[in-house]
Amino acid sequence: MRSALGLMLASVVAAIVIAGVWFWTSSPRADAAPPQTTAASQADPLSAAARQTARDDVDTTAALSKRADATQAAAPAAAPAPAPVQAPVAAAPKCANPDGLGISRTVVVDTTGGPGFGFLQYKQYDFLTDHEVVLTFDDGPWPTTPAVLKALADECTKAVFFPIGLHTTYHPDILRQVAAAGHTIGAHTWSHAHLASKKITEQQAKDEIEKGFSAVKLALGANPAPFFRFPALAHTPATTAYLGTRNIAMFSVDVDSNDFKSKSSDEVINNVMTKLDKEHKGIILMHDLQKHTAQALPTLLRKLKAGGYKVVWMKAKTQIETLPEYDAMMAKTEKPVASGRPIGNVVQTVAE
């Protein structure tokens, strides 16, 4: 009798625990809005990035399922609870560096209305907690970018990239490497124009923004994230309003590496760590086209880890829909694709 009572009690407790797990995983987290920590799969048209994203999502999903399974195994008499998430379809490859900086939290941003992030300019959404940082890189793709990608991969961590449209036409293959590594890719205008300049009309500013996104799309073969950073952080009421109508999130900064004027990698590291000591968290602004940044990154990421900092990776809930007229404009800038074979192998002089 006592054991039957005990079994019933155990079943009730287990049911409450399972319901709790289900509720925790399925209910919206008001404190994290608009970026929400996510474990759910989502449609992501970037093919290479999507594969990586799926792996990351499976990672979290597997952990959640395991926890739910363990609870159920301990209480076979409990009523079946709703499955919190779908079972993983494939085993997730583990990071090769168990001591890597990694990703502590992935957040997905609903860019409706053009929210702004980075307290230097936009103070509405304070979604980072103490010692949480977001890694961001502007101005690529550039020949220095692969070194940045390697440093991030070595630490099993992810960043947000804001490429310049014109640079994507020089190095589309390098931008595709950024996508293949699974990082978030937004845009940073077509030609790095200062959009608050009096010489720039509203139409020209709009063209710079849209051509930037269309150029990234052309290089990737897929729509980028609706994430944008103004060159020199120079915004105007008109340009921020325009981004709002296009549902594009604006990124400012909390911690400026000042890498574009640093004379050494040590200076870049020192700038970031000193400012973090003061701010304790935030969006870090760096430039993947700066060689000192590429050189600094392996050490900088180690120092972040040693300092107890954790990387939050920002992704978009949905990708941007680029405008067809700008896509057509950018298609004209595309260079003919090389076959990959040296010209001497294709055309040989056999008689002169």
Of residues 59, 139, 155, 259, which one binds Zn ion by CB under 5 A? Answer: 139
- Nearest residue by C-beta to Zn ion? 138
Q: Which is nearer to Zn ion, 156 or 225 (CB)?
A: 225
R_g over Cα of the chain: 23
Strands 255-256 and 282-287: parallel
Listed ranges 14-22, 139-147, 243-251, 343-351: which one lies at the site for Zn ion (CB under 5 A)? 139-147
3-state secondary structure of 139: coil
- By the rule CB under 5 A, 138 interacts with Zn ion: yes
Listed ranges 41-49, 111-119, 137-145, 257-265: which one lies at the site for Zn ion (CB under 5 A)? 137-145
What residues from 182 to 201 belong to the interface with Zn ion (CB under 5 A)? Answer: none
What are the CA-CA distances from residue 135 to residues 7, 71, 146, 340, 346 (Å)?
50, 36, 16, 34, 44
With beta carbons less than 8 A apart as the criterion, state whether 280 and 131 touch: yes
Q: Which is nearer to Zn ion, 56 or 139 (CB)?
A: 139
Nearest approach in angstroms of CB 161 to Zn ion is: 11
Q: Which is nearer to Zn ion, 57 or 138 (CB)?
A: 138
For residues 146 and 186, what is the distance between their CA atoms, to the nearest angstrom? 18
Q: Which is nearer to Zn ion, 44 or 138 (CB)?
A: 138
Instruction: Give the other-Cβ count within 10 Å of 59's Cβ.
Output: 18
108 pairs with which residues across the strands?
36, 315
Q: Which is nearer to Zn ion, 68 or 268 (CB)?
A: 268
Q: What is the DSSP letter of 187?
A: B
Strands 227-228 and 282-287: unpaired
Nearest approach in angstroms of CB 329 to Zn ion is: 21
Strands 282-287 and 132-138: parallel
Nearest approach in angstroms of CB 202 to Zn ion is: 21
Nearest approach in angstroms of CB 231 to Zn ion is: 5
Nearest approach in angstroms of CB 228 to Zn ion is: 11
What residues from 26 to 65 belong to the interface with Zn ion (CB under 5 A)? Answer: none
Q: Which is nearer to Zn ion, 78 or 243 (CB)?
A: 243
Q: How many residues bind Zn ion (CB under 5 A)?
A: 3
For residues 187 and 202, what is the distance between their CA atoms, to the nearest angstrom? 18
Q: Which is nearer to Zn ion, 111 or 290 (CB)?
A: 290
What residues from 198 to 257 belong to the interface with Zn ion (CB under 5 A)? Answer: 231
Helical (H) or strand (E) element with 52: helix 47-74
User: HSE of 35 in the Cβ direction (CA atoms, 13 Å)?
Assistant: 25
Nearest approach in angstroms of CB 138 to Zn ion is: 4
Nearest approach in angstroms of CB 191 to Zn ion is: 11
Per-residue tokens: 165: 């449209």
- The residues binding Zn ion (CB under 5 A) are 138-139, 231
